Amino acid sequence: MIPRPFDYYVPRTLPEAVALLSEHGDTAKLLAGGHSLLPMMKLRMAEPSQLIDLGKLAELKGIREAGNEIRIGAMTTENELIWSGLLQTQCPLIVEGARQISDPQVRYRGTLGGDISHGDPGNDHPALMLALDASFVLVGTSGERVVPADGFFLGTYMTLLEPGEILTEIRIPIPAAGSGYCYAKLKRKTGDFATAAAAVTLRMSGGTVADVRIALTNVAETAFRATGAERSLLGKPIDEQTIAEAARQAMAACAPVADLRGDVEYKTAMAGEMTRRALATAFSRAVH
């Protein structure tokens, strides 16, 4: 299908983009990589009267180290994440996750900021961001605020972003040396969204779990942290029994919707299996 007509704006600076968004209000949409928005426009599920293209905003690009954080511009593409030497060495979980997103065509255009802002429970970055304890910089006419990923995803296509706000930067604390990590994703074929996926970061100390974060994709109305599973592991060794209990706790927190990828029971079981695999791999990569 063909989208309804719209006016197209290409701001050159962030203040210009913020002003355009505030001028047009609810009838405008920001355009990043377009790989979620344009399909929705073609299906007439989104019918913006104005598209504000963020593609020329150099300040929304790039990956850099700042103290104990990595800061990533919202317009950084999946491929730029994958090719980043800084991320490969300091934060490989995000690289592992981005590599599993769709296909090369989507990864060349799709952006980290777009993937997060869209609020799709099937997108992979929300769970990765929860596992990495990321925070997001949101800029609007009343200034800038920094919000944690935990609490940002409110529901399907709903986030903490207020109308008129732009996600400009993603901040990720550099994981402690020796941390384990894994993104385990089950999908039916290349280019498909997850049937279920689990993101894990893990730090061991003296043979037991000192810190763990577990977040799940596409098994509820939004990505979420499996806090019961995390609590069940703290202070314990990682072995078959503790992993099985964590997977059980993660499954108990799932509320998937049945669709072509499977029924509720199957998706819940796969969320448990992805949790089990992600924990086992994260443990094998952690220093302990």
Q: Residue from 18, 37, 129, 247 that binds ligand FAD (CB under 6 A)?
A: 37
Cα–Cα dist 262/222, whole Å: 17
Give the pair of three-digit tokens for residue 52.
């504000």
Interface positions, 126-155, toward ligand FAD (CB under 6 A): none
184 binds ligand FAD (CB under 6 A): no
Applying CB under 6 A, does 50 fall inside the site for ligand FAD?
Answer: no
Contact yes or no for 125/166 (Cβ under 8 A): no
**249 close to 215: Cβ distance less than 8 angstroms:** no
The Cα 148–Cα 50 span in angstroms is 29
250 binds ligand FAD (CB under 6 A): no
Q: Which distant-in-sequence residues (6+ apart) come within 8 Å of 67 by Cβ? A: none
* Residue 122 or 180 with smaller CB distance to ligand FAD: 122
Q: Which stretch binds ligand FAD (CB under 6 A): 81-89, 114-122, 204-212, 263-271?
A: 114-122
Question: How many residues of this chain bind ligand FAD (CB under 6 A)?
Answer: 31
165/21 Cα distance (integer angstroms): 8
- Asked if 111 touches ligand FAD (CB under 6 A), the answer is yes
- Least distance to ligand FAD, CB of residue 201, Å: 18
Q: Which helix (H) or strand (E) holds 75?
A: none
SS3 (DSSP) at 215: strand
Q: Computed over its alpha carbons, how large is the radius of gyration of the chain?
A: 19
Q: For 76-91, give one letter per residue: b (16+ CB within 10 A) or e.
A: bbbbbbbebeebeebb
* Residue 117 binding ligand FAD, by CB under 6 A: yes
161 binds ligand FAD (CB under 6 A): yes
Stretch that binds ligand FAD, among 161-169, 173-181, 205-213, 240-248 (CB under 6 A): 161-169
Residue nearest to ligand FAD (CB): 114
Footprint of ligand FAD on this chain (CB under 6 A)?
A: 29-37, 39, 54, 74, 101-102, 106, 110-111, 113-115, 117-118, 120, 123-125, 161, 166-167, 191, 193
